[in-house]
Each structure stands twice: as structure tokens, then as C-alpha cells.
Amino acid sequence: MPHSHCNHANHDHGHGSPEEIGIQYNLFEKIDKENLQCLNESVDGSGQTVFKPWDKRLDHSQYVESDADEELLFNVPFTGNVKLKGIIIMSEDSNSHPAKLRLFKNKPNMTFDDVSMEPDQEFELQKDIEGVLEYIPKIVTFSSVSHLTMHFSANFGAETTKIYYIGLKGEWTQGHKHGVTICTYEARPMIDDHKLKHLDSVNRPIE
């Protein structure tokens, strides 16, 4: 029963052929890979490898597997602001496929101590070995995302969780917060300096 429901939801949200869908899954290019974190990965740095082009999703040589238990936690910073529109989670046809995904918006550097808080959205995942099932985030909630935390809290019963591919679809815009802060900070002393010099030059002839 849940299987047919998920397929129905996928048909509602699918846009054209799998190839056309895949072209839209290009947000991996907008991830700040140097600061991406994956907690509980069995091999250091393996969590980064699952954010790859859609046409490389079937490359099973690069994957992440959990270490101490079935949980995985990704802290995914973007290089700008993202309107998140779709997620694909792909693994193998086994019990190590993740079964639950919890999303947190704009909460950098989360750890497993923080995941007890209420997520912004939660998905019950289905086994997807081809990377074609889309999960649609709530548009209002995920319209301005600079940092996405993905907590895979459970799988289908295995001791560890494996993920081969995570696809993210959406619109990216350059972040403005940092630039505005620098601009405001630099502009104020410049204006003050100008006023002081101006007053000083006016006063001199009067004296």
C-alpha cells in the first residue's frame, strides 16, 4: 500500500523523462564542499562523494556507509541561497537503504546531540536503486536555504546505512548578507573621515 502511494506522489511531481529530471539535479555544484560535514561516516571524506552529477549516480565505487550504527548526519553548506525543490536518495536494494530522512534548515554544525529537536520536514523513504524517486520539500519552508542538515535516522533493518547518491534540485542565488555587512562597516568610517576633514578645512581659514 505505501509503495503505490509513493509512486503516485512521484508521478504527481515528476517532470518528463528521468534524463530531463536529472539535468535539474545540479545543486551539487553549489555546495561548499570544503565545509561539508558527514558525521558517523565509516571512511573519512566519503560523505562528500555522494553529492555528484546525476549521470554518475550509478557509480557504486563512491558511496558513504555509516560506522557505529545506522545513523548518518550531513551538514551541507551552500555557496549562496537555495530554493530547494527536490531531493533524490539512492542506495542498494537491501536493508542498508535509508528509511527516514529528517531535514533541518539553516542550522549549521549540527551534531547527534541536536537531532532530538523537531525537524523542518521528515520523509519516509522508499528503496530507490536507480535514483528516480523525488521527494518534494515544503516550498515555503525551504525557499531560502543557506545550510541544509540531512539526518538519516533509520534504515530498513541493517546494522549500517549505505548511500550511493544524494541529488538536490532547486534555484540558487548568490548570497548577499556577507557583502552588505562589509560594505556597511567600511562605508561608515569613510563618511566620518570625510566630514572631519571637511570641517577641519573650513575651520582653518576662520582661525
Cβ-based neighbours of 126, under 8 Å, separated by 6 or more: 2, 3, 6, 133
Pairing of strands 72-90, 64-65: unpaired
Looking at the fold, whether 125 and 148 belong to one and the same domain comes out as yes
> What pLDDT, on a 0 to 100 scale, did the predictor assign at position 140?
95
Residue in 157, 144, 164, 143 with CA at minimum distance from that of residue 46 = 164
Looking at the fold, whether 183 and 137 belong to one and the same domain comes out as no
Looking at the fold, whether 42 and 105 belong to one and the same domain comes out as yes
Interior CA angle at 99 toward 94 and 102, to 5°? 150
Looking at the fold, whether 39 and 130 belong to one and the same domain comes out as yes
Cβ-based neighbours of 181, under 8 Å, separated by 6 or more: none
Q: How far apart are CA 5 and CA 54, in angstroms?
A: 25
pLDDT along the chain (207 residues), means of 10: 37 55 89 97 98 94 97 98 97 98 97 97 97 94 97 98 97 71 46 46 46
Which residue range is the domain that position 98 belongs to? 2-174
Looking at the fold, whether 92 and 118 belong to one and the same domain comes out as yes
> What pLDDT, on a 0 to 100 scale, did the predictor assign at position 19?
72
Looking at the fold, whether 17 and 111 belong to one and the same domain comes out as yes
Residue in 172, 152, 191 with CA at minimum distance from that of residue 29 = 172
> What pLDDT, on a 0 to 100 scale, did the predictor assign at position 176?
63
How many alpha carbons fall within 13 Å on the CB side of residue 9? 15
Looking at the fold, whether 125 and 185 belong to one and the same domain comes out as no
Q: How far apart are CA 85 and CA 142, in angstroms?
A: 8
Largest CA distance in the chain: 92
Q: Say if pTM beats, i.e. exceeds, 0.85.
A: no
Residue 34: φ, ψ to 5°? -65, -30
Indicate which CATH number applies to the domain containing 112: 2.60.120.470
Q: What is the pLDDT of residues 141-160, one digit of tens each?
A: 999 999 999 999 999 999 99
Looking at the fold, whether 161 and 183 belong to one and the same domain comes out as no
Looking at the fold, whether 75 and 17 belong to one and the same domain comes out as yes
Looking at the fold, whether 19 and 33 belong to one and the same domain comes out as yes
Looking at the fold, whether 182 and 87 belong to one and the same domain comes out as no
Strand pairing partners for 165? 90
Number of structural domains the chain divides into = 2
